[in-house]
Amino acid sequence: MRLFRMQRFSAIALVVFMTIHMVVVHYPPFHIDFSRIIERLDQPLWKGIDIAFLFFVLVHALSGGYAVLMDIERVNASKRLLMGAAVLVGIAAFVYGSITILAFHPPAAVVVLP
């Protein structure tokens, strides 16, 4: 039952984050270019949003993959091993992605050519 709740909660969070992502990145009222992306990634709020988005994507994907594998009867014997592997992959991907987002610092001067 926890897996079911995790899937539903992460799905709701993903709808929110996907809407924010689509509105800000893909449908802006202006032309989006690298300088605007640099400005956005320089703000701590957007870094937090990106990290939260990453977290919910990983939770949703890994718990969904685990649920699908549990439907296969032969795999059911390796349930703990699969759960442990999913948790380790999730933690490693979250740490790597978070470090990548947090480590981003814009260059001192950005030159945008027309």
Model pLDDT for residues 5-19, shown as the tens digit of each residue: 989 999 999 999 999
* Confidence check: pLDDT of 103 > 60: yes
Q: How far apart are CA 47 and CA 106, in angstroms?
A: 13
Angle value at C-alpha 61, between 73 and 80, nearest 5 degrees: 40
Query: What percent of the chain lies above the pLDDT cut of 90?
Result: 36
DSSP-derived letter for residue 9 is H
- Please identify which residue in the block is written with the tokens 């809407």: 19
| Contact indicator for 47, 102 with CB cutoff of 8 Å | yes
Angle between helices 2-21 and 44-70 (to 10 degrees): 140
pLDDT band at 73 (very low <50, low <70, confident <90, very high): confident
11 vs 8: CA distance, rounded Å: 5
Q: Which CATH fold would you assign to the domain 2-103?
A: 3 helical TM bundles of succinate and fumarate reductases (1.20.1300)
Q: Name the nearest CA neighbour of 97 among 65, 40, 53.
A: 53
Tell me the average pLDDT of the chain: 85
pLDDT at site 93: 96
DSSP state of 76: G
Q: What is the pLDDT of residue 109?
A: 61
- pTM confidence score: 0.81
Of residues 45, 41, 43, the one with CA closest to residue 100: 41
